[in-house]
Amino acid sequence: MKEVQKAYNLCVTGKANEAKQILDNLLARDSTFAPAHYEMARLKHHMMLGKASNDFDKILAESENAVHYDPENVVFAYYNALASFFKTFINMQMEQGDVKAGIEKTCGKFEHVLSLKPDYYEAMMYLVEFYGLLPPEMGGDSTRAATYSQKLSEMSIYYGSKARATLAPENFDAVQFWENLLKDDPVNAELLTEAGRAYLYREDPENAEKYFEQAVQINPAKNILTLDLARFHIYKVMANRELAGTELPIAKTYLKKFLNSKPMPIAPLRAYATGLMALTERFEGNETAVIKLQNDAKAIDPYYSTASGIPTLLLFDPPDQISHQYFSFFKPF
């Protein structure tokens, strides 16, 4: 396990190639070593984002091996369930493959996670999301979604509320919903985060920033929310290039703030933020600055993600730690 931890440490410091060599050597010696398969799956996932590739089969195969050789390990099972949906989500985006079968398989994997850890709230949230937001022809099932939402409500105020918000009708006032919950628990970083996101969807970044800053003060690890603020302003420019003059300087301010935050972000996230900085320069036509920033990002991590979404922190949790990372596949923030 020490070598797996070493590979992980190399990955989060921007040395993915060296990490892969360690894991290759480990698996050459023992192809049944589940932790090495798990870490290899996550490493390949990270490297794939940097290559802008959709070849997810090898990642999923490594994850399946981890679960095969250690079927009772909930850490491996959770990532495997998510990896299964990543593959299905790619098929959804490309309009290929049997999406409904993929959703059924994915939900079965999350149900297996819950058999190992019945209070795994994040796994239950994915079942709420998949069953509740997808149409029946793609595997959606409103009855099952409601059942899991009720279970979460009985187990966790935060996740029960999040489930209800996920299944709420279109006229649902998310800002009021989360602010009402904050009246009873004003220093809950998760509730503050949700209120901030609700304001982003309302196109009110000033109030979003107010709640995000409170969340970060309580939990400094939430400084990643600064990237959501930057992305909000970048997305506005993507939708309307005429807004570049006003929106891009704000985005750059948030990106610089993230890059200078304490504790210092891990290399894959620093490189990702630097890549976003390059994108802002590209919108402004500053190609010399674009090239410099892209080279800077590659120097931090040659496999930094070029996707618009923030790389999931599930890829960077310690390899022996149960992950509590949850993100929606159907929302940008």
The tokens describing 223, both together, are: 């400084």
pLDDT digits (tens, 9 = 90+) for 89-105: 988 888 888 999 999 99
pLDDT digits (tens, 9 = 90+) for 103-159: 999 999 999 999 999 999 999 999 999 999 999 999 999 999 999 999 999 999 999
pLDDT digits (tens, 9 = 90+) for 14-56: 999 999 999 999 999 999 999 999 999 999 999 999 885 667 8
pLDDT digits (tens, 9 = 90+) for 215-273: 999 999 999 999 999 999 999 999 999 999 999 999 999 999 999 998 899 999 999 99
Q: How confident is the model at residue 305 (pLDDT cuts 50, 70, 90)?
A: very high
For 276-293, what is the mean pLDDT? 97
The closest alpha carbon to 167, from 202, 120, 128, belongs to 128
Q: How confident is the model at residue 308 (pLDDT cuts 50, 70, 90)?
A: confident
The average confidence (pLDDT) of the chain is 96
pTM for the model: 0.95
Per-residue model confidence (pLDDT) at position 53: 64
Higher pLDDT, 86 or 38: 38
In the chain the domains, ranked by start, together with CATH numbers, are: 173-218 (1.25.40.10)
Per-residue model confidence (pLDDT) at position 52: 59
**What's the one-letter identity of residue 117?**
K
Helix axes 244-259, 267-283, angle to 10 degrees: 160
Percent of the chain with pLDDT over 70: 99
The answer, yes or no, to whether residue 288 has pLDDT greater than 80, is: yes
Per-residue model confidence (pLDDT) at position 96: 86
For 313-319, what is the mean pLDDT? 97
Which residues, 6 or more positions from 265, have their beta carbon under 8 angstroms from its beta carbon?
223, 224, 258, 259, 273
- Lowest-confidence region among 48-62, 112-126, 163-177, 288-302: 48-62
User: How many residues are recorded in the chain?
Assistant: 333
